[in-house]
């Protein structure tokens, strides 16, 4: 489905079937913020993996920006994946690279954006979220606390400028104070990417 201007109405549409019926459905209209709770860890893992790879299994259907991923050729799949960022424990920091190297690695691999632009964006984002950029950028992942680690992973996502950002169970590893700090990630993403789409993915609340 597209709007009158020809742009996709949905950044993401996902369905997982069981016994021929829709078991899980997720949709996120473009340029908006959405929150979804999936029924269990298996469903969440399947969804996150499908989005990360722009590829889905036999019982799944996935559209990203109006494109059916099942029909994509490898080059088109690679281009589509670069339009999506996922903040998830499934994509950890690389332990033998320092923070700057972890943040800049995707840009260095793809050759864009320029590393100078990445460095400036990373410093601005880290400072805006209360960190000391120069001190943090030189550290190794094993030297980081839980919030610092998620902050670096978020910064890595942010500087890649994804049109769709997916936050996977953002507060699970954080104490209440750090959870409140992580809540600022949404505003920071939308300030830098006002036309972006943000999707929070979580499990049902305890006792629900």
Superfamily for 10-202?
P-loop containing nucleotide triphosphate hydrolases (3.40.50.300)
The CA-atom distances, in angstroms, between 143 and each of 4, 99, 196 are: 50, 10, 32
Strand order in the sheet with 33-37: 33-37, 197-202, 164-168, 84-87
Instruction: Give residue 2's pLDDT.
Output: 46
Per-residue model confidence (pLDDT) at position 118 = 93
Residue extents of the structural domains in the chain: 10-202
CB atoms within 10 A of CB 62: 22
Beta strand 84-87 with 33-37 is: unpaired
First to last CA, the chain: 34
How crowded is the C-beta side of 108, counted as CA atoms within 13 Å? 8
Q: pLDDT tens track of the chain, all 208 residues?
A: 444 455 578 999 999 998 777 789 999 999 999 999 999 999 999 999 999 999 998 899 999 999 999 999 999 999 999 999 999 999 999 999 999 999 999 877 777 788 899 999 999 999 999 999 999 999 999 999 999 999 999 999 999 999 999 999 887 778 888 888 899 999 999 999 999 999 999 999 875 5
Q: Would you state the structure tokens that stand for residue 168, as one six-digit string?
A: 């996977």
Taking the C-alpha atoms of 13, 3, 167 and 192 in order, what is their torsion angle to the nearest 10 degrees? 160
pLDDT attached to residue 4: 46
Q: What is the pLDDT of residue 7?
A: 59
């Amino acid at each position: 489905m597209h709007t009158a201007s020809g742009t996709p109405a949905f950044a993401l549409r996902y369905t997982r079937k069981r016994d021929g019926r829709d078991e899980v459905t997720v949709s996120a209209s473009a340029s908006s913020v959405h929150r979804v709770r999936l029924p269990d860890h298996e469903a969440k893992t399947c969804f996150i993996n499908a989005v990360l790879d722009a590829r889905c299994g036999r019982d799944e259907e996935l559209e990203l920006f109006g494109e059916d991923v099942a029909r994509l050729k490898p080059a088109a799949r690679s281009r589509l994946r670069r339009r999506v960022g996922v903040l998830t424990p499934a994509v950890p920091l690389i332990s033998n690279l320092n923070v700057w190297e972890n943040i800049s690695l995707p840009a260095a691999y793809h050759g864009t954006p320029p590393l100078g632009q990445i460095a400036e964006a990373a410093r601005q984002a880290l400072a805006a979220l209360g960190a000391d950029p120069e001190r943090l950028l030189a550290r190794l992942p094993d030297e980081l606390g839980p919030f610092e680690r998620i902050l670096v992973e978020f910064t890595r996502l942010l500087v890649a400028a994804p049109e769709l950002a997916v936050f996977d169970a953002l507060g699970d590893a954080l104490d209440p104070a750090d959870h409140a700090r992580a809540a600022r990630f949404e505003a920071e993403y939308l300030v830098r990417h006002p036309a972006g789409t943000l999707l929070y993915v979580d499990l049902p609340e305890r006792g629900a």
